[in-house]
Amino acid sequence: MELATAESGRDCVGAMSNLAVKSPEGRKYLEQEQRAYEIFWRNNPDHEVIETDKSLPAKADALLVKGGIIQSVVLTACRNFTIERLCSASYDKRWLLTTQKLVDGALLADMLCASLQGFLYLEPEDCLLVKELRKDRFWVADIAREDNLPTQANCTTDKKVIRPNSMIDMRGVQILR
């Protein structure tokens, strides 16, 4: 297994490059992300989902807007597993997200005086898990940092990277279908 680190200069940030967006895996991920936003909007028709440009390394994936006012910054992930697997002993109801993505999302949310929401789309069940992560500049989700955990670099490769990750407790999550 080839490991990339920030020091190696390899892709470690997990952001989708323009090339990744054009790959078959990247296109599939973008389709799943679109499905997540459709599910959210269907359940919350009073909100708009404003996406960031996926060919650029944006610090968030979307904004939730209600009545013309930004309500939330959204960090989105799409996974090929079920709620049952998320609740299994190996995941323990926790969602892994890079710590840097959380930090960047929190800074952006704080600057916009908005909340930070986590969207986890589970493709096999075609459902969206929504978790409020930060509100009024305070973390409201239980999050544990896990350093030196080898994880997939991004959705288009099996290459593993070592970087600081965070495990978000998904108990009490809102499940949208």
Q: Which residues contact 84 (CB under 8 A, 6 or more apart)?
A: none
Residue 18's pLDDT is 58
Using the structure block, give the residue that is written with the tokens 């589970």.
122
Residue 13's pLDDT is 36
Encode 115-125: b = buried (16+ Cβ within 10 Å), e = exposed.
bbbbbbbbbeb
How would you class 37 by CB atoms within 10 Å of its CB: exposed for 0-12, middle for 13-18, buried for 19 or more?
buried
Residue 22's pLDDT is 80
Beta bridge partners of 163: 149
pLDDT digits (tens, 9 = 90+) for 117-174: 999 999 999 999 999 999 999 999 999 999 877 777 776 667 888 889 999 999 999 9
Q: What is the average pLDDT across 16-32?
A: 81
Helix, coil or strand: residue 153: coil
Full residue range of the structural domain in which residue 114 is found: 3-176
In the chain, DSSP finds a helix count (H) and a strand count (E) of: 4, 11
Q: What share of the chain is helix, strand, coil (3-state, %, to 5)?
A: 25, 40, 35
* Residue 15 predicted with pLDDT over 60: no
The count of domains in the chain is: 1
CA 158 to chain centre: 18
Residue 28's pLDDT is 94
pLDDT digits (tens, 9 = 90+) for 64-117: 999 999 999 999 999 999 999 999 998 999 999 999 999 999 999 999 999 999
**Are the C-beta atoms of 87 and 93 separated by less than 8 Å?**
yes
Here the CATH number for the domain that contains residue 24 is 3.40.1350.10
Beta bridge partners of 43: none
Q: Is the pTM of this model over 0.95?
A: no
